[in-house]
Amino acid sequence: MTSSTEPRIVMYTPKALKKDTCKLILHKFRTKEMNEVKFIDVNTVECVNEDEQDSFKYRDNHGKLCWNITPAAEKEYMYFADKIMDKIPEHNDFEFISYMQVMEYPSGTSMPMHLDNADTFDTATCIIFLDEDYTGGKLIVDDIVFDGKEGDIVSFNHSKEVFHGVTAVKTGIRTVIGVWFQNHLSHDPLPDELLEDSEVVETEEKVYNALL
């Protein structure tokens, strides 16, 4: 299954977020308490406290400090969505946010070139730069290199099929928000056996309502 039938696009939007907005988000991120997590495999992590599964902060296996946020964490989700949604491309593949992650790259960390594979239904990705007091840490999407500054946004669809990564941070700390999108056409209908499960239906309805 491909992520979208839309043509591939890569967009760069400079200074989309105001500096004050970036600073508020950074403060919120840095003051959030760390959560206890367990790693299922190299790329999969879960919060030990089940009540915090939809919004938790941890350090990943690459050395990055991360804050994962899903639509089910309504308060945190809406905080970020309110600041982001009017800044992203008006394009079918950016219909709604399915997942967000604030990522802090300390000096020496990077992200190898990769394809996103966390969710079958992802249609697009945005990377939002929250600071610029660092060297290195350049974003690469296909063969395009972005030296993002505070408030800049890089958006691209087909993130499951487009190689992208981050070069090593040489000095300072690089902090960004990764935002993953879906659209209503990207989902297959739920199987009949799941539709008969009232708990599954209730969960789907809660997530859907959070996206509205």
Q: What is the CATH number of the domain that holds 86?
A: 2.60.120.620
Query: From the CB of residue 204, how many other CB atoms can be counted at a distance below 10 Å?
Result: 14
Amino acid, single-letter form, for residue 128: I
In a domain, 114, yes or no: yes
Give per-residue pLDDT as tens, 151-176: 999 999 988 899 999 999 999 999 99
Task: For residue 138, tell me if it sits in a domain.
Answer: yes
Instruction: Please state the domain count of the chain.
Output: 1
Confidence at residue 209, expressed as pLDDT on a 0 to 100 scale: 40
- Listed residue (97, 121, 119) closest to 181, CA to CA: 97
Q: Is residue 3 part of a domain?
A: no
Q: Is residue 107 part of a domain?
A: yes
- Residue 36 lies in domain: 10-211
Distance, CA of 32 to CA of 30 (rounded, Å): 6
Task: Please report whether residue 4 resides in a domain.
Answer: no
Answer whether residue 2 is part of any domain: no
Over range 80-89, report the average pLDDT.
93
- Whether residue 18 is contained in a domain is answered as yes
- In this predicted structure, the answer to whether residue 205 has a pLDDT above a threshold of 80 is no
pTM: 0.85
Residue 190 lies in a domain: yes
